[in-house]
Structure 1
Amino acid sequence: MELILCRHGESAGNIAASEAERTGALRVAVPARDPDVALSDLGRSQAEDLGRRLADEAEPDAVWVSPYLRARSTASIALAAAGWSAEPRIDERLRDRELGILDTVTSRGVRELHPEEAARRAFLGKYYYRPPGGESWVDVALRVRSVLIDLTASGDRVLVVAHDAVIHLFRAVCERIDEQALLEGAAAHPIPNASITRLVRDDRAGPWRATVVNEVGHLDEVTEHGGSTDAARV
């Protein structure tokens, strides 16, 4: 079995978050609520590049997509460019990590506007820390475990279009990567927009392994928004 995990193309929110971190702003000037943030012009081009790359291989048995606009748009553009006819299955379990009161707040903003949360996060660690009204990485891992059961029942080759945190946690769950290795890997190797990661296993009872991680050779321009902080939405 093979899982083809793709991050959405660059979004307007990615650009705003990177700019806010660069300038030291306290908050990100997001253009819409997170589920409605659209792809940038570059993000749409990246989705087309992704589709042309996928056209080189057989159409998957199923396509599963986050309900967020940036993921749905990436899937739609890529499927059209690939010439595939698969109908995407939208599943809320593939949505981006929810940040609660820290949504649209930069890393500096967390320290200055929510010092008690900065201290709590430092004590608990990134993996287990859950901002009020939001999710920890563990919460997202539980979502991934749930949706993985349905994904594997939908075919032997499945394409998933989602978000960087979701893809990191697919790898953690499937490859049994522990907390320290996961966080070190996520910091050292951010998931580029419209990149491809492939997980395979030789039989349905066997272990998963990554054969490709963060493939970007198909992209004319590579962007790596996110990865250094999860305070701003990525």
Structure 2
Amino acid sequence: MAEAGTILNGHRTERDGGRPLPSVLIATRHGESVANVEFRRADESGALSVPITSRDADIPLTMHGQTQAQALGRWWAELPPADRPRAVWCSPYVRTVETARIALAQASGLGAVPVGLPVRHDERLRDRELGVLEMLTRAAIEKEHPAEAARRRRMGELYYRPPGGESWLDVALRVRSVLRDLSEEEAGRPVLVVAHDCTVLMLRHVLDRLTEPQLMALEPVGNCSASLWRAADGRLRADGWNATGHLPG
């Protein structure tokens, strides 16, 4: 029988069938981005386009998003010492990189974590790829790709894969892969994951073993929200979901 725990690199680990686990896993979505604002406006007005010309990967935070990232850093600094992340895994997209950098600077400035704590950028944490629907508003999808819009409604978001893009379950496969590496490399210590709404949602799906109805009933993942899982009884168990009380109004 596998041990319930062991010492690895000076850290106490929990084990699930012999696999080490981080002591705490905290996941956050990036702060408000320029695209979040523009697509919200487009959905409200029925616009066919948004004034964005960059790649999705290059979209930055808004000023409000930067403020949210600072608030996330202060929340980080106020956690009990044993829960304060000592490693950061981050999507390589600009908006997530900015969020991690600002939050880390805030937490470091408050003495909560060492200055210069490394950030690992992992492409498996990137946002869902939408293929031919990339950067299209809801109105534009209905007008330019009516067959795809109908197929999306029929199949549901969990299974729908746009041409050249990914379904939610495709993202879940990436998440399972990164969780295996993260658990091995960060065994026994708290970790912060900075990613995107779909990525964080698929973390919940994988770790909490949610069914499709349970998943679809969840509220949207908030910008700079905090979701936390704790190693207990051989697995990571939820101890908080999508909390936003630390953010400015």
Aligned length: 216
How far apart are 1:151 and its partner, in Å?
Answer: 1.1
Distance 2:40 2:76 in 1: 28
Distance 2:74 2:53 in 1: 29
Aligned residue number for residue 130 of structure 2: 99
Aligned residue number for residue 4 of structure 1: 26
**1:17 alignment partner AA:** F
How far apart are 1:31 and its partner, in Å?
Answer: 4.6
Percent identical pairs in the alignment equals: 49
Distance 1:46 1:215 in 2: 13
Q: How does 1:13-162 map to 2 (within 5 A)?
A: 13-57=35-79, 58=81, 59-83=84-108, 84=113, 85=115, 86-155=117-186, 156-162=189-195
SS in 2 for 1:208: strand
Distance 2:215 2:50 in 1: 26
Aligned residue number for residue 200 of structure 1: 230
Distance 2:133 2:59 in 1: 17
- Contact map agreement 2:56 2:135 (CA 8 A) in 1: no
Task: State whether structure 2 residue 189 is matched by structure 1 residue 184.
Answer: no
Distance 1:63 1:149 in 2: 15
Aligned residue number for residue 10 of structure 2: none
**1:170 alignment partner AA:** L
Q: Which moved more, 1:189-198 or 1:25-34?
A: 25-34
How far apart are 1:78 and its partner, in Å?
Answer: 0.3
Q: Give runs of ≥4 in structure 1 deviating > 4 Å.
A: none
SS in 2 for 1:52: helix
Distance 1:152 1:207 in 2: 11
Distance 1:75 1:61 in 2: 13
What whole-Å deviation, never above 9, does each CA across 1:64-109 have from its counterpart, x for those lacking one?
Answer: 0000000000000000100133210000000000001101112222
SS in 1 for 2:151: helix
- Contact map agreement 2:141 2:149 (CA 8 A) in 1: yes
SS in 2 for 1:214: coil
What whole-Å deviation, never above 9, does each CA across 1:12-37 have from its counterpart, x for those lacking one?
Answer: 11111101111101233325211100
What whole-Å deviation, never above 9, does each CA across 1:205-231 have from its counterpart, x for those lacking one?
Answer: x2432211111121113xxxxxxxxxx
Distance 1:214 1:94 in 2: 18
Q: 1:210 to 1:4 in 2, by over 3 A?
A: same
Distance 2:52 2:214 in 1: 31
Distance 2:212 2:222 in 1: 21
**1:166 alignment partner AA:** T
User: What is the root-mean-square deviation of aligned Cα atoms in Å?
Assistant: 1.3
Distance 1:72 1:11 in 2: 12
- Contact map agreement 1:62 1:154 (CA 8 A) in 2: no
